[in-house]
Amino acid sequence: MRLSIVVPVLNEEQVLGATLAAIRDGGPHAEIIVVDGGSSDASFQIASEYADQVLAAPRGRARQQNLGAARSSGEALAFVHSDTIVPPTFSNEIDGALLDPWVCGGRFDIRLNDPRPMSRLIGRAISLRSRLTRSATGDQAIFVRRAAFFRLGGFPEIPICEDVAFMRLLKRTGRIACLRSTVTSSARRWQQGGFSRTILLMWVIKSLFLCGVAPERLARWYADVR
């Protein structure tokens, strides 16, 4: 199955090369589409060295990902954040999961690129919660059948929690494959904000979003308290 991998980017020159090299290794025959949201650093130039397409879009992860999907050609789509390293088996595992016609999409387990015990625990907790709820965050390299993605209208173009909103819709359409192979995500937000504070902040934002608080309001509050 032809796979298109969409990477939304904004000022990620420090990590983007490693991310795209891992994607090319894990998806040697995949189409790689980088969507830049107006970077002022060298992200656009770095992306041009690896990607099949480098697109410019208004800033906003959901908007960027939707544009990449619209310009893609794959029967399956995967969305990888610019600070996430995928495993060498990435495209093969997605192919295997989608052999089941009842599977509409899925995600990978996650670990953080920090050897400290708390970071390892956070990765395991996110993976377990995701497995139990059949949901995922964007850090877990969400993948989906192309037809299902467009039938659902893509990612809701909201400023925060677009991944949570999309997965709520996706899991109503079929089975979610919870792959045990791990993607490795940057631990920088945990390191910058502190473990306890970041866990609490993320839990509160997600809970308020699921309770119906407007994402625009949450985005303003998130920016204020970071």
* One-character DSSP codes across 15-83: THHHHHHHHHHH-TTSEEEEEES--SSSHHHHHHHH-SEEEE--S-HHHHHHHHHHT---SEEEE--TT
Query: What is the per-residue pLDDT across 102-114, written as a single tens digit (0 to 9) for each?
Result: 999 999 999 999 9
Chain center to CA of 171: 16
User: What is the model's pLDDT at position 29?
Assistant: 96
* pLDDT over 80 (residue 167): yes
| pLDDT, mean over the chain | 93
Q: How far apart are the first and last CA of the chain?
A: 41
Establish how many alpha carbons lie within 13 A of residue 22's alpha carbon, considering only the half-sphere containing its beta carbon. Answer: 22
Determine the average pLDDT of the residues in 46-73.
97
Domains along the chain with CATH numbers: 3-191 (3.90.550.10)
Q: How confident is the model at residue 217 (pLDDT cuts 50, 70, 90)?
A: confident
Rg, Å, the chain Cα set: 16
User: Does residue 68 or residue 211 have the better pLDDT?
Assistant: 68
Neighbours of 195 (CB within 10 A): 16
- Please give the single-letter amino acid code of residue 183: V
Q: Which residues of 159-172 are buried (b: 16+ CB within 10 A; e: fewer)?
A: bbbbbbbbbeebbe
Strand pairing partners for 77? Answer: 4, 144
